[in-house]
């Protein structure tokens, strides 16, 4: 049985004080939540403050991105080792906003995924089609290519530890959610692709999160689907009550 894994992606929001306050509010309610895995991904400058609040709790901390080298002349970048050292357990890699605005490709995503494992971080690898791609009937082709290229040359036991986030680009921040059936169709397909490349053990173990306008009102139905093992939540993770609403549906 895969444990549900809900991650809040705070994107470039909340200053350090606000981030620590949100973490505190989540922590205060964490005891009443079910047996699920939870992570939050603050901006890099707030990671330490959030880790301070959440240390020893069941809420893990993720970085929103990393570089693939350990150290060196790469102005503005953070290495996975540095992110691990301050106490993050996870790192989001290849979010569609990184692909769209910052030139991420499947090749750079793949380098970052390898680097994350080297540093002892568990990657959350994002894939998803644009609206135009969906309308042209290319959804499966697009996500299959992204998945295979992003996970290239990983060992089976590494794959079992990572999380895939299926995030249709047209559903992110738009209020338009994929229907539970639409999402399940892609999730089942992705699991099939994992099976082909990495075998049944890995395919069964990998959590596939859905992301794109998830909120408390639609979480239960999405999470009830066989291959939807959690959510990557943007907007609705920025307020404690909204995020807790989703966490309660998952538990
Ligand atoms: P959203 O963002 O929940 O605001 O749609 C999801 C994401 O980008 O991870």
Instruction: Write the pLDDT tens digit of every residue in 60-90.
Output: 999 999 999 999 999 999 999 999 999 999 9
What are the beta bridge partners of residue 92?
124
Residue nearest to atom 7 of ligand 1 (CA): 234
What pLDDT, in 10s, does the model give residues 101-145? Answer: 999 999 999 999 999 999 999 999 999 999 999 999 999 999 999
Cα–Cα distance, 104 to 220 (Å, whole number):
32
Structure token digits, residue 192: 């099939």
pTM, entire model = 0.97
Tell me if 118 sits within 8 A of 158, measured CB to CB.
no
What pLDDT, in 10s, does the model give residues 178-218? Answer: 999 999 999 999 999 999 999 999 999 999 999 999 999 99
Q: Which atom, in ligand 1's list, is nearest to the CA of 214? A: 3
Q: Which atom, in ligand 1's list, is nearest to the CA of 172? A: 5
Domains in the chain (CATH in brackets) are 5-250 (3.20.20.70)
Residue nearest to atom 3 of ligand 1 (CA): 234
- Specify the pLDDT at position 162: 98
17: confidence class by pLDDT, cuts 50, 70, 90 = very high
Q: How far is CA 157 from CA 87, 222, 245, in A?
A: 23, 27, 33
The active-site residue, picked from 37, 90, 95, 129, is 95
**Contact 214 CB / ligand 1 (< 6 Å):** yes
- Specify the pLDDT at position 1: 81
Residue nearest to atom 1 of ligand 1 (CA): 234
Cα–Cα distance, 174 to 2 (Å, whole number):
29
Residue nearest to atom 6 of ligand 1 (CA): 234
- Specify the pLDDT at position 18: 98
DSSP annotation of 174:
S
Q: Exposed (0-12), middle (13-18) or buried (19+): which is 118, by Cβ within 10 Å?
A: middle
What pLDDT, in 10s, does the model give residues 141-163? Answer: 999 999 999 999 999 999 999 99
- State the distance from the centre of ligand 1 to the C-alpha of 96, rounded, in angstroms: 10
Cα–Cα distance, 217 to 210 (Å, whole number):
15
Q: Which of 228, 235, 152 is nearest to 189 (CA)?
A: 228
Low-confidence winner among 76-85, 143-152, 166-175, 234-243 (lowest mean pLDDT): 166-175
Concerning whether 95 is annotated as a catalytic residue, the answer is: yes
Q: Give the number of other Cβ atoms within 10 Å of residue 250's Cβ.
A: 22
Q: 220 CB contacts (<8 Å, ≥6 apart)?
A: 249
The count of C-alpha atoms lying within 13 angstroms of the C-alpha of 106, restricted to the half-sphere facing its C-beta, is 14
- State the distance from the centre of ligand 1 to the C-alpha of 72, rounded, in angstroms: 32
Structure token digits, residue 224: 């009830």
171-175, 176-180, 235-239 — most confident range: 235-239
Q: Is the pLDDT of residue 175 over 90?
A: no
């Amino acid at each position: 049985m895969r444990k549900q894994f809900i991650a809040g992606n705070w994107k470039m929001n909340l200053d350090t004080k606000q981030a620590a306050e949100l973490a505190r509010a989540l922590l205060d309610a964490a005891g009443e939540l079910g047996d699920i895995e939870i992570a939050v991904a603050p901006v890099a400058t707030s990671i330490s403050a959030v880790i301070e609040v959440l240390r020893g709790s069941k809420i893990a901390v993720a970085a929103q991105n990393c570089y693939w080298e350990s150290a060196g002349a790469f102005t503005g970048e953070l290495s996975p080792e540095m992110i691990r050292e301050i106490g993050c357990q996870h790192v989001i890699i290849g979010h569609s906003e990184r692909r769209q605005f910052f030139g991420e490709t499947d090749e750079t995503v793949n380098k970052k995924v390898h680097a994350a494992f080297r540093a002892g971080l568990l990657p959350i690898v994002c894939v998803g089609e644009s609206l135009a791609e969906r309308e042209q009937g290319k959804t499966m082709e697009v996500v299959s290519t992204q998945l295979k290229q992003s996970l290239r040359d990983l060992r089976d036991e590494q794959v079992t530890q990572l999380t895939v986030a299926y995030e249709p680009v047209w559903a992110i921040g738009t209020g338009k959610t994929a229907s539970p059936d639409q999402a399940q169709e892609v999730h089942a397909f992705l699991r099939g692709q994992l099976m082909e490349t990495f075998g049944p053990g890995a395919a069964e173990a990998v959590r596939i999160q859905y992301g794109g306008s998830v909120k408390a009102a639609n979480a239960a139905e999405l999470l009830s689907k066989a291959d939807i093992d959690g959510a990557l939540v943007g907007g609705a993770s920025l307020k404690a009550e909204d995020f807790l609403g989703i966490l309660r549906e998952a538990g």
